[in-house]
A and B are shown apart, each in its own frame.
Chain A
């Protein structure tokens, strides 16, 4: 018997791609990536944990950090990004099905000493379907 191999989607790639498409659609200069890129408006997305929930549902916890030149800009960018992440369950993705998004850590101001830029961040748990490969 051949064992079935189940694979969870690459959540970081999926969120980055989705956010960049949405920023472009809105004419926003912000860009998302999985590492910090020095720009006036930048978003970093990183998986920080979250185990598989059951056989077919993965529940990754994703840390989303938003930097901008001033704190108002960072707050606005984080608010927009947070709303976009919340809207993920209502959208169709070619790579995965998103069932539910819930907040594990709400929006907070968390100034970054490394960049001296204002930073706002939140943690979302994004439940998505695991597929056989």
Chain B
């Protein structure tokens, strides 16, 4: 039997990944909500894929994150492994 050859059409793959931006934004929003006040979401799609940042928006939040690892903990309560 002849071996099947899979060729990815990367332009199409990237289009699908970029279209996932609302899903990424939603996940980032949940991380932000879990982190508490003083954190913000920056939705910044990459040219190849969906992307969003959750970051401290105030000095108080930045200090809180440095002290308590708030963003890491907020991520843990939202994202699953795998």
B76 engages A48 (CB within 8 Å): yes
Which residues of B (50-82) have their CB < 8 Å from a CB of A? 63, 66-67, 69, 72-73, 75-82
B66 engages A63 (CB within 8 Å): no
A104 engages B66 (CB within 8 Å): no
Roughly how many angstroms separate A113 CA and B76 CA in the complex, as a whole number?
22
Q: How far is the CB of B78 from chain A (nearest CB, A)?
A: 7
A49 engages B75 (CB within 8 Å): yes
A48 engages B72 (CB within 8 Å): yes
- Residues of chain B within 8 A of A61, CB atoms compared: 75-76, 79, 81
Roughly how many angstroms separate A112 CA and B68 CA in the complex, as a whole number?
9
Roughly how many angstroms separate A50 CA and B77 CA in the complex, as a whole number?
7
How many residues belonging to A are interface residues under a CB distance threshold of 8 Å? 23
Least CB separation from B71: chain A residue: A105
Q: How far is the CB of B66 from chain A (nearest CB, A)?
A: 5
Query: Interface-forming stretch among A25-33, A71-79, A80-88, A119-127?
Result: A119-127
B81 engages A59 (CB within 8 Å): yes
| Interface size of B as a range | 10 to 19
B66 engages A48 (CB within 8 Å): no
Least CB separation from A61: chain B residue: B76
| A121-B69 CB under 8 A given contacts A53-B82, A113-B63, A127-B81 | yes
- Residues of chain A within 8 A of B78, CB atoms compared: 49
Query: Could you tell me which A residues sit within 8 Å of B by CB distance?
Result: 47-51, 53, 59-61, 63, 65, 102, 104-105, 110-114, 121, 123, 125, 127
**Apart from A111-B66, A121-B69, A121-B72, 10 more pairs, CB < 8 Å:** A47-B76, A49-B78, A50-B76, A50-B80, A61-B79, A61-B81, A63-B73, A63-B76, A65-B69, A113-B66
**What are some 29 contacts across the A-B interface (CB < 8 A)?**
A48-B75, A49-B73, A49-B76, A50-B79, A50-B80, A51-B80, A53-B80, A53-B81, A59-B80, A59-B81, A60-B81, A61-B75, A61-B76, A61-B79, A61-B81, A63-B69, A63-B76, A102-B81, A104-B81, A105-B72, A112-B66, A113-B63, A114-B67, A121-B69, A121-B72, A123-B72, A123-B75, A123-B76, A127-B81
